[in-house]
Structure 1
């Protein structure tokens, strides 16, 4: 693909890959957090966000066994996207590791219990995914990029809610940095979702079917339900929370053929949060 062709599609893949953001370790305010520790609620939430980010590689693997792997522009984006998300997960891990051994112990027990299940799923899931997706064809790509867009809508609201809940300037600045890194992810996924959903009825039907089920952002389904419930209830407990959840759903409504699904409101209700 030429530079001109890439520019015509909007998002500049070459610029994105050339300016990928790596490790945040030098910018982490670990000394400030050591002097004045984060609350246990915040540490628990950061541990959850870390583990959700770590699901990126599994998700990308599942995506790339579908017809998505034939799209060079998409695969180039995903490689850098996964790289940037890896380093965000690393930053969360460093903060959690410096703050609370109890979080490690609590989640470690759960993690070990689920590890064997995950190993089996990891071996078998790509086979079923590949067979089903390749039978469907390229319309399945619309589901992947729509999911990516929703992940970014959700993450933006989570970061904002967490900043309000903890009200620590150091944490707010750090989350703003991560939000800035991820803003390019949102632009790409949203552009692709708008384009692909507008192209075919099949893409819209398939994506709407995915969102009509018990949809959750990427990585959350693999987390213990108790942890997901905790995050929903602690970050989205009140009327202001309803505004955040509704804002995500309005963005989803704006995607072609996706209106009226109440995707995140239904998820919030399922996990006992304000909706």
Structure 2
């Protein structure tokens, strides 16, 4: 078993409960429909934490007791982030209907995730073995980092109660982002096989701001709106490339700027 300096037991004891929203204060902010649509997009991503957890726990990665213990708490914590966004949206205007999927590919992908993946994932990940954990940790590290960048991007357009709620979401997400990053870094650095597996999981066809690889119907509009400024786009580029310095050189994606995050690791039984 691999250990990093992240204290999983202490994380489980933290307060992951509901983020209370002052509905009266939020209603007075008069958020634009564009901002509310951007928040709804982020709400759908965070509300799908259970789907991400299921995709992980249906594989060989579920045999890692330390990761399973963390994910059990993380899935609940991420659900609370999505719930806070739903409460904020409910306080600031009429309900926003989820956009309907238009792509045949999206429908097929969703059907695969719901019916076929739970049957096939345990088989092929058992063949790959432990290196698959590096791939899962890499994906979730980049996803949590990208979600941080998305919330940071929308924050300057908010004020008052809505800004407070987003700031609290960013504060809480620091812990999960750090866990997945340290786990990924430790495995990628430990062996070339794990590094190659992580590189493949982060390869072409996978995007961090999606739920288990399925694009949100509003993705194109939301990404253009959220990352409208050069600074926001640069922040997203840094967020999605946090592991690239550790990956094998071939197929490494271009970097916008050096971005090294320290983290001590150790191994034990």
TM-score range, shorter chain: 0.7 to 0.9
Bigger share in helix: 1
Distance in structure 2 (CA, Å) of the matches to 1:115 and 1:253: 31
Q: Is 1:18–2:13 an aligned residue pair?
A: yes
Report if aligned partners of 1:140, 1:203 keep a CA contact under 8 Å in 2. yes
Task: Supply the distance in 2 between the matched residues of 1:109 and 1:146 (Cα, whole angstroms).
Answer: 30
Please report how far the alpha carbon of residue 230 of structure 1 lies from its aligned counterpart in structure 2 after TM superposition.
Answer: 1.1
CA distance in 1, matches of 2:88, 2:101: 20
Partner of 1:30: 23
Alpha-carbon deviations, 1:25-45, whole Å to 9, x = none? Answer: x3x132122123211111111
Gaps of 5+ in 1: 265-275
Change (3 A) 1:116 1:34: farther
Paired residue for 2:260? none
| C-alpha contact 2:144 2:173 (8 A) present in aligned 1 | yes
Where do 4+ consecutive residues of structure 1 move more than 6 Å? 113-117
**Residues in 1 aligned to 2:254 and 2:120: alpha-carbon distance in whole angstroms:** 29
User: 1:169 is matched with which residue: 160, 167, 175?
Assistant: 160
CA distance, structure 1, for counterparts of residue 186 and residue 121 of structure 2: 23
Residue-pair matches, total: 252
Structure 1 position 242, deviation (Å): 3.3
The 8 Å contact of residues 134 and 187 in structure 2, kept in 1 or not, is answered as yes
Residue of structure 2 in register with 1:43 after alignment? 36
Q: Extract unaligned runs of 5+ from structure 2.
A: 257-269
CA distance in 2: counterparts of 1:249 and 1:116, whole angstroms: 26
**Does structure 2 conserve the Cα–Cα contact (< 8 Å) formed by 1:52 and 1:220?**
no
Pick aligned residue for 1:139 from 131, 145, 149:
131
Distance 1:121 1:221, change over 3 A: closer
Per-residue deviation, 1:117: 7.6
Q: 1:139: how far off? A: 0.3
CA RMSD for the aligned pairs?
2.8
Normalised TM-score (structure 1): 0.81
Give me the whole-angstrom Cα distance separating, in 2, the residues matched to 1:115 and 1:29.
Answer: 37
Q: Looking at both structures, which has the greater relative contact order when contacts are Cα pairs under 8 Å and sequence separation is at least 6?
A: 2
